[in-house]
Structures are given as C-alpha cells and as structure tokens.
A and B are shown apart, each in its own frame.
Chain A
C-alpha cells in the first residue's frame, strides 16, 4: 500500500556533516537547543501570527486567528485535505483530493450538512511526515478543521497522537500500514484495508498462477515488508520455491547487486513490492539482465506513467499489479462511476466514501466537531437502512432511521482498529495500459 518516504535524510546529512566539522575544527560553540518538535512549535507559531485567510472568504473578514474548535466561518464546517501533491506519490494525492472535492460538491449541492456547507482546506505533504504534522496542526489550529482526510501511511501514524489530543478525526483512503492495526480505531480510520490484506491477495495470485519459483524484491519499509511476508507465507504453503527474498533500500542509482542472486536463480516470476523510483530501475535492470518471466507489482506501480518510464514493450502481457479496489459489480460503485468521471482511478471511491461518511456522521450526531463524528461513524456505516449517497442518508436520518452507508468502495464496516475489510483487483499490462484480469472480493479472505 502507499507509503511515504521520510525526508530525514537531509537532516541526517546536515547533522552528520556538522558533527564532522565540529570534530575536525574543534568548534565548541554549537547551540544546544536545536529545534523544538514540530508538534510543539507549530501551535505557538500559529497562535502568534494572524491566521491565513481562506481564499474564498470575504476580504473584510478580520485577520484574527479562528478559535481552534469551531468552524472557520459560521454556517460552514471545515475539512482538511492532507495529501501528497508533490513527490513520488503526487499522482495519487491528486486523485484523492479530486475525489474528495467531488464528494464535497455533491454534499453541498444537496444543501450541506446540519453544520452547514463543507469547506475544504488543502495542503501538500510531499510525502513527508514532518510537513504532514505541521500542515495538520495548521488546519486544526488556524482553519478549525474537524476532520483531516487523505494522509498516506507514515503521516497517518505521525498524526495519531495529534488526532486524539485535538479530538479531530483523521481518515485515509490508502494508508495500509499495519502500524494502524494497533493504533487506529479512535479518531483514526481508513476506508481501505490493512497491508496484510494486500499481502494475502498477492500471495493468492502468486500461488494460483502456476509458478514453480518466485523471487521477492521488497523495498525496505514496513508498508512493503509486512504484506510481502504475508504473501511469502502463502506462496511457501502452496509449495512454490522462493528463490530469493531481497529487502533493498530505495534511493539508489542502481540495484544490480540486489538483482545478482535473483537473476542467477531465474525464477518464473518476481514479486516487486516497491515504489516507482526503485521499481522502474529494478524492472529495467532485470529485463536488461535477461529476466524473461512474469512480474507482480504492488499498488505504487499501478499508474499509467509506468509504461512510459519502463517502456511498455518490456512489461506488456508479463506484468501484473495488485491493489485494493472497489468492487466494480457493486451498484454503489456503478452509481458513483456514472456520476464521477474519475471513479476508476485508484482509491477514488475510497476517497469519496471518506467525505460522505464524515458528512453523514455530522448529520447523525448533530455535533459539529471531531468528537461528534467519532462517536457515530461506526453506526452510520453498519446496521440500518442501506444508503449510498449523502442525501439518501440525511433523509433517512431525518425520518429517524438508523443508516448503513454502503460505500462506492465497498461495505465499509470498521473493525476495532478503524479499518475496513477490502477487495482487491489484479490488473495486467496490456498494450501499454492496465487491464483488469482478476477481482478478489472481501469475502475471499474471510476464514
């Protein structure tokens, strides 16, 4: 599942370099109170400075900071959209932000929530947890956001404490990290399944494809190693020979050393659980090195840009990609697809579901804050009259019914960790584009 790459490297390099210089020059005038933790520093900064005015607010509005726990403007309720719009995952961030805006448009067009129309404030994390914390703090303290939607895995984990402390709901459509299996459930939700589900789906695909041997190339991150371990167990249990399980570091110019043993073993398939940067280089180097077997990629590579970057002719018919996906046979998804042209993009239905769930939770609780959403979000998505849009749900609630929001991405029943069970799609590279070849509904993995 989507993961963020921490930009700690710059800081580490600077610190290392400083240490070297300090040692070499014998300098002893280094300051000892370096930088306050972002969580602590940011609120102070925002408390002292005038809050930035949202672009659509009247110019006459006084530039005083908004109270932290109230909507930014009377008659509106603010939701933060915290996504990576730059960096390696920027393509996904835009999909998520667009789908949320579509959902907001539908909700506002239907008359808005009991707390008023939804206003969004969008911030780019660049995939960096530190930036994510700073922007989230700004959204809460300055903009009065009651929910923050769209963070990737590393940023979700980094925001858990902030969400609980500030009683603001955070929700992700693609953060599969298993760390949230422990931390999620109270103010922390996701409309996608855990990475372990991806591992199970990948393992099922690899086990049933008829391979005699499989090599695993796994990026050195928790979000890729965890599902790869699950897939490895399934493949082993199927009696398939695992020639290599290589955990590599991303950010290298070349991965020839990591590929040496894999290419020598010449497996029937390589399971590549990695990001776009490392993945593209690995694919090219493996093919150039003579690998002629099949591939299974994880979600990061489920984008059309891969064909340009790798060269479509190298992976056509041989490459497959696995990712959590909406069930295309569900009437809720079909309806969503009819209304929204971007419905087929990865995680677009999950993103739409997030904002609809938030809006329905506001309606159900009648409370215009994160605590209100948190208190009823499980109720509106499980048990009661089935609804698939905000307006349906609001009308049912007005009639005094319990509602069960059936999302465009699936049934959306949250487990104790705030995670939904997922369905998965396998796509194949065909003529320079990804084409669906297999779908595993959530029931596939229910024991």
Chain B
C-alpha cells in the first residue's frame, strides 16, 4: 500500500487489526461499557470520541490490557486474545501514548526511547554509541532536534510527547493508540504529529485517535466511533458525518429538537441593565486558555458552554484565583482583583464551587457546621478565638435556608448525599456574602430531586442580585438555566448566545463550527475538564 499523504480520500481500510464485540465492563455502581462493538483496521486512523463518562478511557484500558473485559471478546490480528497485563499487549504490538507522558523523567532521552530493548554490544552491555545514534535519527525523522543524552525532564512537554511518539513508532507496533496527543503540543508539533500519523497509516498500522478537538479529527481521521454512556452510538467514515451531527451524537441531542421549557427548575430570565459585577478580559493560560473574556451583571446567570477540554473549568478557576493566568484582568464590581490569589478573589466577592466536589470542595472529615463556617471563620472570630454562638446562628440560618438534610450540624460532611454536600458548599460561600458565584457542574452526580432543588436555589440566588457563572455538561440545564451562554472551544470564546438565541440548536452549531481561518488556529486547548 502506498503511503497516503494529505487528508484526502481515506485509503481502502485493511483487515481488522484490533476489535471488540459485545464488550461490557462494570465497576461498582457504574456500567462503564455496555455491549460495545469497535474495530480498528490496518491502515486506518480511527477517531474515538465521547464526553465525560462515555467510556473512552475504559475501552482503551481494555484494549491495552489494563482492565480485563467484563463480557464480550477482544480480537487481535484475527484471533481472540486476553491480555493479562499492559506489557503483554505491548509485546503483542499495541503501543499507547497516554495523555500524561509515561516515560522516566530522570533518564536520558535515548534511554527512554530504548527502554527495555536497548541495543546490546558484546558481553551483553548496552551499546550506548549505537543507542545514541539511533535515537538521534529516530527523533530527527520526527523533526525533533535535541541532545539525546540529556535527561528527558529537561525537555518541554511537547518535546517529551514527541519522544513518547518516537518510542511508540520505533517499536514494531501494529496498533498505535493516542490519547489526546495534542493537548500540550505547539502548532508546529501538531503538524509533525499528523505527518507521523499519516506515515503510520501508510505503513498499514491501525491508529486509534482520541481527542476532543473536532478540527483535528476531521483533518487526520478516516473513521469515527462515538461513545455515549458506555455504548457505541455511531461508527462510520468521518467524511460522511457533518460536525453538527457529530456534536449532537456526542451530547445525545437531536438537532432541531425544540424542547419545551419547564423541564428543569429554572424559571424566567434575569436580564438586567446594571453595571457588570464581573468583567474578565483576555484571560490566557498557556495551553489552556486563549484570551477568554466575559462579563456578568448582577442577577444574571451566564452559562459557559463547550465540550470537554474546551477550557470551561479553567476559566472559572482563573477568575477565582486558583489558576494563575499568564495575562488577563479580572474586575469585580469595578475594582481590579489581583489574579492568581484565591484569598484576594474571595475577599473581592468571588466564590467557586469546584467541579470535583469531593477532592476540592468539601472537607470530608469535618462536620457540616465546620464546613459551612470554614471560609468565613476569620469574620466569625474575635482575636483569633472562634465565636461559637455566632457560628451556630450562621449555620442554623443556612441549613434552614438551603434545606440541608443532615442528622444535625455535627454530622460529618463526608457522610451526606452529593446534593447536600453541594448545598453545604453553597452555604459556605453564601456566608461570605459573595457578589459572583462560579458554579462548575453544580448538579453533577446528585440525584434528581436534589438536582431540581439546587437548580431552584441558583435561580433564587440570581434573583437576589448575585452574578452567576454556570458550567454544565447537561445541555438542558445550561440552556434553561442561563440568560446568556458564552461558548468556548479550545480555550477561546467562539460565540456568545443571547436572548432567543440561547437554544440547544444554536449552542451545538457554535460548538461544531469549523474555525474561520484554518491556518491560524491557536494551538491552545483546555487540559482535561476533569
């Protein structure tokens, strides 16, 4: 087969190289994969996409021997296989490049490239000269010029990723799996990567490509499989699937599907003409945010839309001071705030409900009472001594107002349900009298009843004059809860939907839109939203 260059017609796909059929995998409480069929063919670049929790990672881990298949069959090169360990899969010819580089940072570049298969001289000792020469050649082939004797960690993340790529390519792989390989690459490196992918395809290798960047998928992939909620909902040539349809499949939405309002607990709009309570301009974080600007007026709920990895959480964190931006300004109620400092942002009136409630939100071992009082503690103390009576009053007020269900204020927060944990966090911030609430996935992982209640609370808070930023992967919630939606893509604002334009349809179109000028696409993107 001749090497194919360019993104033109895909080559005639070869025989199935790595496939699964009827694959199921369960974890306690979660059905991660449910009857998935997936086939990667020789000489084909196969895109694997899906939102959070769709099952991509699980599928890859089964393919590479990290997890065992629950039900169903894995076939490799024509015969059924069961890889007991990742090493077995590697020896069989399945090479994986993970998002986080999995190399040994203290060893030299060359040693990393040849780890476990070093060229040997007489006496079985490592032939360093040969190893260095071959490493240099392998990397030059990828357009990377570095001293291969240097420790790997001295290289930039992009260059490290290229070393990982060189390693994957130089072993005799027949299947190469790439998990978000471009998340930390510069545009030039991305171009090199795509060149390598096409070369691999030309050699008849099956490439499985995981990414959230639609532009890349259309540029380099032949086939696409969309996973949603553990099921493969679509497989087919990517050229036959338009972007909008692809986004709709990922999000599980129908295009043009006009929904009636009232499915969520959000009520009407809060449009106001007041001065903005939050003005963020040009927030930029290398590889994560690219000049994000947005404003929120008091009493307004602004939604932040976009796919996984588009920089939603990063935007919220940058505003809240938890992610120091390289540049950009944050102004709260007309007063500039020092960026990169959580205490400064909090003093100015910014409160963040983080996405990872369990790890970054609650303090699980402390009581409901202590958790609510945590941020406001200095204000509830005199000369460093805690004023217990005042804390009791505050805690009592908010437990009633937010209808927190606990056996009492002294119950440990770790024992509460997700919805009540979220309410405790809300109470913690409301006790600070904030001006702006940043809510990152406020209803994820909490049950339906509590979800409606939290949504209603958000509404009430906006009515009380708070500026709210709402991040949600739940389309319905985002559309119905927001007065405006700012759409992010690859770390930059691509569109702002206002008024009647706040519809699922418009949102999906904005997410799916191809970049205006292909050549100048900034190579920034969010890290994983997780």
Report whether chain A binds chain B.
no
Query: Which residues of A line the B interface, CB within 8 A?
Result: none
